[in-house]
A = this chain, B = another copy of it.
Amino acid sequence: MTSGPNASAPGALAAVRPLAIICGGGDFPIALAQAAIAAGRAPFLVGLVGSADERIEAFPHLWLRLGEVGKFFAALAERGVAEVVAVGFVKRPELADLRIDFGAVKRLPALAALFGGGDNQLLAGIAKLLENEGLALVGVHDVAPQLVAPSGALTRRAPSAAALADAKLGAAAIAALSPFDVGQAVIVAKGRVLAVEAAEGTDSMLARIAELRASGRIALKGRAGVLVKTPKRDQEMRLDMPAVGLQTIDAAARADLEGVALAAGKVLVIDRDACAKAADQAGLFLHGMAL
C-alpha cells in the first residue's frame, strides 16, 4: 500500500508552513500556537528562559536564553522556518543576563545597539536582525486575525458618551507619550487620567486603581473609569502588540471600571469569546475604537 500525494509525503509536509513563535510570558503564546494550528500552520515555540510559560512544552518547542542567537538561527534553519512571530511579556534583560553564543558574537555590534533605548528601539532592532538572516517577521494579526480587536462593541453593554470621551482622552495621552516609549494603556475617569502604565504592566496598573479606590484616595462612586489600550504611535506592530485577556477583564472588574476601550485592529484580544462573556457578567463594556 502506497500513500497518496496528500498524506505525509515530503511534499505535503512542505505545504504545512512552519511558523516560529518566540514566546514571552503569559497565555498569549499558547493561544497563538493554538490559533496557528487552527489556521493550518505548524508552530515551533521558542521559549525565552525566565519569561515563557512551561505550557509551551505541549508543542514542538525549544528553550532559549537571551543571547543564544546562533542556536536560534540554527534551529529555525533545521526546521525550514521562514516566518517568525513574537508574543508575550519579556523581562527586559541587563547585558549581564545575556548568554552570548558564537552566533551572537558574530552579530555583536547589531545586538549591542539594541540595548540603548526604549522598547520601540529594541523591537525595531530585533526585526531588522531577523530580516538580515532572511527570516520574515510577521505580526499576530497576519497569522491569527481572530486574535485582534474588531471595531465596535464586543459586549452587550456599549460605552456611554462620557466613557467614549474618556477613551478618546486616554488615546490622546498615550499618543502624547509615544516619543517617550512608555506605556500602551491608561485609565481615565470623568475627564481625569488616573493612571499611566509604564514598566508595571496593565494588570498591575488596574490593581493600583482598585487599591486607591478601596482606600478612598480616589473617591469615585460605583462603576467609573475606562481602561484605554492602544499601541504607541509608530509602534512596530509585528512585535509587542498591546494585548488584553481574561485577566485584564477580571482586573478591570475588580477596579470597578465602566469598561475597556481598545484600538480596533491594533490590540490583541486573547480568547475573545471568554473575554466578552466575563465582561458581560461583570457588567463592563469591551469596545473596539476606530483610531
A212 to B91, CA, bound (A): 11
Provide the residues of chain B in CB contact with A118, threshold 8 Å.
191-193
Q: Given that A179-B176, A218-B92, A219-B92 are contacting pairs, would A200 and B208 also be in contact in the complex, using a CB cutoff of 8 Å?
A: yes
Contact B194 A198 (CB under 8 A): yes
A19 at the interface (CB under 8 A from B): no
The residues of B that contact A208 with a CB separation of less than 8 Å are 200, 204, 208
Q: A106-139 toward B: CB 8 Å interface, digit per residue (1/0)?
A: 0000000000111100000000000000000000
Please state if A219 and B91 are interface contacts (CB–CB under 8 Å).
yes
A204 CB to closest chain B CB, in angstroms? 8
- Nearest Cβ on chain B to A109's Cβ, whole angstroms: 19
Q: Is A196 an interface residue (CB 8 A)?
A: yes
* Chain A 206-234 near chain B by CB (<8 Å), digits 1 or 0: 00110010001111110000000000000
A195 touches B191 (CB 8 A): no
**A78 lies within 8 A of chain B by Cβ:** no
- A198 and B195 within 8 A (CB): yes
> Is A73 located at the chain interface by the 8 A CB criterion?
no
Chain B residues whose C-beta falls within 8 Å of the C-beta of A191 in the assembled complex: 116-118
The chain B residue with its CB closest to the CB of A94 is B219
A187 to chain B: closest residue by CB: B198
How far is the CB of A113 from the nearest CB of chain B, in Å? Answer: 13
A-B contact list, 23 entries, CB within 8 Å: A91-B217, A92-B219, A94-B219, A94-B221, A116-B191, A118-B191, A118-B193, A119-B192, A169-B180, A172-B180, A173-B177, A173-B182, A176-B179, A176-B180, A181-B193, A182-B193, A182-B196, A183-B196, A195-B198, A195-B200, A196-B196, A199-B209, A200-B208
Closest 10 CB pairs of A and B: A196-B196, A194-B199, A173-B180, A182-B193, A195-B198, A176-B176, A94-B219, A117-B191, A180-B193, A118-B192
